[in-house]
């Protein structure tokens, strides 16, 4: 497996986003299937595993901790704080809450360490910037955790270049994690270059466009009732029907290159810069191995230009988030 630099770590060029195993895309897979995917990734050379307190309201960290604790020295462990499930009404139902207060982040870290069954988290992200708390205060709390030996490096998720620079002035930021793919180009506005300038890795989540670029999802009515894509404007029936028109040309490029559609999406990201590290998620060992094959795909300048012209912010229909979710992120957005 090819390697890339992430803060003080050398990690596989493609990591594993663990969210899908417990969260967001319908019913979680069985514990046994989750274990199969995690261990298959490790055996295939993946050395960056990405989880979060939010995923399954702790269930994903618990799964990763149980399965991976005996292999802890073989991989870089990333998790996230600042967004978690809270029993707001006292009825036992957890509600997603963004909370970047220092005391909350310290407690969340202790909870994550316990679930992950480890003494230290290699890369700890602020999952969302709590806009009620200065970014300097939240990052300052994470810097205290570095000094205490609880975490080794700090990351940010879904932030602008301006916020990144403010945070970096408090403590070096090892990585920024944001959605990035052919159909989500927001990082190209500013933060992708800011990461390169500051020496931070750019970790791309949803690198196959939440499954769109795999080419298999043709009918959004088949999505699980609890699938988060149902609330995303790009997956609304009319918008998705328009976006499907992009797939024929995209799949032709994949055929011309001699790779699968998922591999093409990931290879495009790998060619966007040496500091870019995609973290696709999957519940299938077969899909996992398909994804990892992207490291062997070479794209020439003409193919990159062809892809850029085919799927971009001008050709994709619909915003990536609904109004509520868009208000929770700090990422730059294109006008309109």
- pLDDT one digit per residue (tens) for the chain, 336 residues: 999 999 999 999 999 999 999 999 989 999 999 999 999 999 999 999 999 999 999 999 999 999 999 999 999 999 999 999 998 888 988 999 999 999 999 999 999 999 999 999 999 999 999 999 999 999 999 999 999 999 999 999 999 999 999 999 999 999 999 999 999 999 999 999 999 999 999 999 999 999 999 999 999 999 999 999 999 999 999 999 999 999 999 999 999 999 999 999 999 999 999 999 999 999 999 999 999 999 999 999 999 999 999 999 999 999 999 999 999 999 999 986
Phi, psi of 151 (to 5 degrees): -135, 160
Identify whether 122 is part of a domain. Answer: yes
Tally the C-alpha atoms within 13 A of residue 304's C-alpha that lie toward its C-beta.
Answer: 13
What integer pLDDT is reported at residue 88 of this predicted model?
86
Does some domain include residue 309? no
What's the rounded Cα separation, in Å, for the pair 271 and 304? 8
The reply to whether 224 falls in a domain is: no
Residue 335 has a pLDDT of 84
Looking at the domain assignment, is residue 51 inside a domain?
A: yes
150 lies in some domain: yes
155 assigned to some structural domain: yes
What pLDDT sits at residue 216?
93
Strands 201-205 and 48-50: unpaired
Q: Which of 25, 55, 125, 240 is catalytic?
A: 55
Looking at residue 97, which CATH number applies to its domain?
Answer: 3.20.20.100
Helix (H) or strand (E) run with residue 153 in it: strand 151-157
DSSP string, 87-135: -SSSSS--EEEE---HHHHHHHHHHHHHHHT-S-EEEEEESS--TTS-H
Per-residue pLDDT at 269: 98
Which ranges in 130-284 belong to alpha helices (H)? 135-147, 161-170, 191-198, 237-244, 247-257, 261-270
Establish if 302 belongs to a structural domain: no
| Catalytic annotation present for 250 | no
Whether residue 6 contacts residue 203, with contact meaning beta carbons closer than 8 Å, is answered with yes
Please name every residue paired with 196 in a beta bridge, in sequence order, or none if there are none: none
Q: Which domain holds residue 30?
A: 3-209+268-297
Domains contained in the chain, number: 1
Within a domain: residue 141? yes
């Amino acid at each position: 497996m090819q390697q890339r630099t992430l803060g003080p770590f050398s990690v596989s060029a493609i990591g594993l986003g663990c969210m899908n195993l417990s969260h967001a895309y319908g019913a979680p897979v069985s514990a046994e299937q989750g274990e199969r995917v995690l261990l298959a990734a490790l055996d295939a050379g993946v050395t960056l595993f990405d989880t979060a307190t939010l995923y399954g309201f702790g269930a994903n960290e618990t799964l990763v901790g149980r399965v991976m604790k005996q292999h802890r020295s073989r991989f870089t462990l990333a998790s996230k704080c600042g967004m978690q499930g809270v029993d707001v009404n006292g009825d036992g139902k957890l509600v997603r809450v963004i909370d970047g207060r220092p005391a909350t982040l310290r407690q969340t870290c202790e909870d994550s360490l316990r679930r992950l069954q480890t003494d230290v988290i290699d890369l700890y992200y602020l999952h969302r910037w709590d806009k009620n708390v200065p970014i300097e205060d939240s990052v300052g709390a994470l810097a205290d955790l570095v000094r205490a030996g609880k975490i080794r490096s700090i990351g940010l998720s879904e932030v602008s270049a301006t916020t990144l620079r403010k945070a970096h002035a408090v403590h070096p930021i090892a990585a920024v994690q944001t959605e990035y793919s052919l159909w989500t180009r927001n990082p190209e506005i500013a933060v992708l270059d800011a990461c390169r300038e500051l020496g931070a890795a750019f970790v791309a989540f949803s690198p196959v466009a939440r499954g769109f670029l795999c080419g298999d999802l043709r009918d959004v009515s088949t999505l699980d009732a609890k699938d988060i894509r149902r609330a995303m404007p790009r997956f609304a029936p009319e918008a998705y029907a328009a976006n499907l028109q992009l797939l024929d040309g995209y799949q032709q490029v994949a055929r011309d290159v001699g790779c699968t559609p998922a591999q093409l999406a990931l290879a495009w990201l790998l060619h966007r810069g040496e500091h870019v590290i995609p973290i696709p998620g999957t519940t299938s060992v077969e899909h996992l191995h398909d994804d990892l094959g992207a490291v062997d795909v070479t794209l020439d300048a003409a193919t990159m230009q062809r892809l850029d012209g085919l799927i971009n912010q001008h050709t994709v229909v619909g915003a990536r988030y609904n109004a509520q979710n868009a208000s929770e992120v700090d990422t730059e957005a294109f006008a309109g």
